[in-house]
């Protein structure tokens, strides 16, 4: 392994650990590999001198051409296709964070309605059922 590769993995590890240890960030276990992949892509891009479209200082429309249409992005109840890369995600939160975007910035960039979902319908329903089974709905009623 070269020194550069060791440096990238060391930095990747420190970033991932810091992000995961922050109590404001909550990830499902299956999202951790995606986080690590995104951090690695970012570090590799920095090392290669590559800039992402979200790094475009002018913020021109040409840098924000959607990969899919809104109807295509919401065609499945199992996932949402990202307007950034056209890939399917159960939740866009981590994906957007990898590009330095908030949900509001994402909606603004692609002229989406404020009600545009950030989580796939079936994933949201499954999480809701888990919360109900855990009794979280009862806690809310008592408060």
Q: What is the pLDDT along the chain (143 residues), one digit of tens a residue?
A: 466 666 888 888 899 888 888 888 888 888 888 888 888 888 877 766 654 444 444 343 446 889 999 999 999 999 999 999 999 999 999 999 999 999 999 999 999 999 999 999 999 999 999 998 988 877 656 65
Residues 80 and 141 in one domain: yes
Residues 88 and 40 in one domain: no
Residues 75 and 46 in one domain: no
Number of Cβ atoms within 10 Å of the Cβ of 41: 13
Residues 40 and 79 in one domain: no
Say how many domains are in the chain. 2
DSSP state of 91: B
């Amino acid at each position: 392994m070269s020194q550069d590769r060791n440096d990238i993995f060391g930095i990747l590890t420190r970033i991932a650990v810091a992000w995961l240890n922050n109590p404001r960030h909550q990830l499902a276990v299956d999202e951790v590999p995606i986080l690590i992949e995104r951090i690695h892509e970012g570090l590799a891009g920095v090392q290669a001198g590559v800039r992402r479209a979200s790094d475009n200082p002018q913020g021109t429309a040409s840098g924000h051409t959607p990969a899919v249409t809104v109807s295509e992005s919401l065609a499945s109840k199992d996932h949402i296709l990202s307007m950034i890369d056209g890939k399917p995600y159960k939740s866009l939160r981590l994906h957007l964070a990898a590009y330095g975007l908030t949900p509001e910035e994402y909606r603004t960039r692609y002229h989406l309605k404020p009600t545009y979902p950030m989580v796939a319908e079936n994933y949201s329903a499954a999480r809701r059922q888990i919360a109900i089974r855990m009794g979280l709905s009862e806690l809310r009623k008592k408060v």
